[in-house]
């Protein structure tokens, strides 16, 4: 019997969008009109948190799938 979690898609979308938003923020700081401080730190925090959340989210999903 397969465990179905409808929240997986929404959670992964939120985590990945945080990572993408952080990368976009860093690109805007580097090549766009944003000032370096504090936007670079905000971009680093968003990108890092989104990447870690995506990794943990996928690890938990893989663990649930292999537990079947």
7-65 pLDDT, tens digit each: 767 788 888 899 999 999 888 888 888 777 788 888 899 999 999 988 988 888 787 77
Q: Is the pLDDT of residue 1 over 50?
A: no
Query: Across the chain, how many H-helices and E-strands are there?
Result: 2, 0
Would you state the pLDDT for residue 20?
92
Predicted confidence (pLDDT) at residue 66 exceeds the cutoff of 60: yes
Contacts 24+ apart (CB under 8 A), 21-29: 21/46, 21/47, 21/50, 22/46, 22/47, 22/48, 22/49, 22/50, 23/47
Task: Report which secondary-structure segment, H or E, holds 47.
Answer: helix 39-66
- CA neighbor of 16 nearest in space, from 49, 60, 45: 49
The whole-model pTM stands at: 0.75
């Amino acid at each position: 019997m397969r465990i179905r979690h409808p929240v997986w898609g929404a959670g992964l979308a939120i985590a990945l969008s945080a990572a993408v938003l952080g990368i976009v923020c860093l690109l805007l700081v580097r090549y766009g009109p944003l000032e370096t401080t504090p936007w670079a730190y905000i971009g680093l925090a968003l990108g890092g948190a989104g990447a870690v959340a995506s990794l943990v989210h996928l690890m938990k999903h893989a663990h649930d799938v292999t537990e079947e």
